[in-house]
Amino acid sequence: MTTETNNDKPCGCDHTPEPKKTSRRDFLLLLGFGLNAIAGAMIGIPLIGYLLSTFFKSYPLQWISLGPVTKFPEGATRLASYLNPDHREWDGQTAEIPCWVRRIQENDFQVFAINCTHLGCPVRWFEESKLFMCPCHGGAFYENGEHAAGPPPRGLYEYPFKVENNELFIQGGILPTLANPMDDKKPRH
């Protein structure tokens, strides 16, 4: 049985072998892999975080102010907007969610989502005809939000509202869609 000496070196000498020199080709190959990994991480990590964030965060419905009731004249329909409570820092102006506010009487309002119930295009209010019109496929809605004509399957989505201290609030936090119409959450105050 032989025992190795000199710090258990297989050659029995005191010097350490020189490290293998990296060729220029190997260096550029490793550099390319490294840069691709960095670029992939810069794109992939935020993308995965964005996609998974919806599973870990929930934003319950909450009361959001649209402003003083004096901003909405009686018998008129006005465009208003509110800040989406589920907005991200990079949303910019898209975090502002528009809605149509119709003041029927002193403290009686209807607040409609701006999106057509057909494919989600933004509807416009035409005062002369007292209709909401969708420019995409010709959908039309009466001033009370009911379906009038065209392909939409139903009337406009209506936000629940309340008036406190002469300020109009709507219950927001979830955008109404065909999958989530908010109809069961529609108390009229």
Does residue 40 sit in the same domain as residue 125? no
- Answer for the pair 109, 99: CB distance below 8 angstroms, yes or no: no
Provide the domain limits for residue 108. 62-185
Does residue 37 sit in the same domain as residue 115? no
Does residue 48 sit in the same domain as residue 101? no
- Answer for the pair 143, 123: CB distance below 8 angstroms, yes or no: no
Does residue 77 sit in the same domain as residue 52? no
Q: Token pair of 72, please?
A: 């909405």
Does residue 1 belong to any structural domain of this protein? no
Does residue 84 sit in the same domain as residue 175? yes
Does residue 25 belong to any structural domain of this protein? yes
Percentage of residues in the chain with pLDDT exceeding 70? 80
For the entire predicted model, the pTM comes to 0.62
Contacts of residues 182-185 at CB distance under 8 Å and 24 or more positions apart, as own/partner, are 182/157, 182/158, 185/61, 185/160
The per-residue pLDDT for range 54-76, each reduced to its tens digit, is 677 666 778 888 989 999 988 88
- Answer for the pair 104, 69: CB distance below 8 angstroms, yes or no: no
Q: How many domains does the chain have?
A: 2
Does residue 160 belong to any structural domain of this protein? yes
Does residue 75 sit in the same domain as residue 107? yes
- Answer for the pair 69, 168: CB distance below 8 angstroms, yes or no: yes
Does residue 149 sit in the same domain as residue 175? yes
Nearest residue to 112 via CA among 161, 151, 60: 161
Does residue 146 sit in the same domain as residue 126? yes
Dist CA 162 CA 107 (whole Å): 8
The per-residue pLDDT for range 19-44, each reduced to its tens digit, is 778 888 989 999 999 999 999 999 99
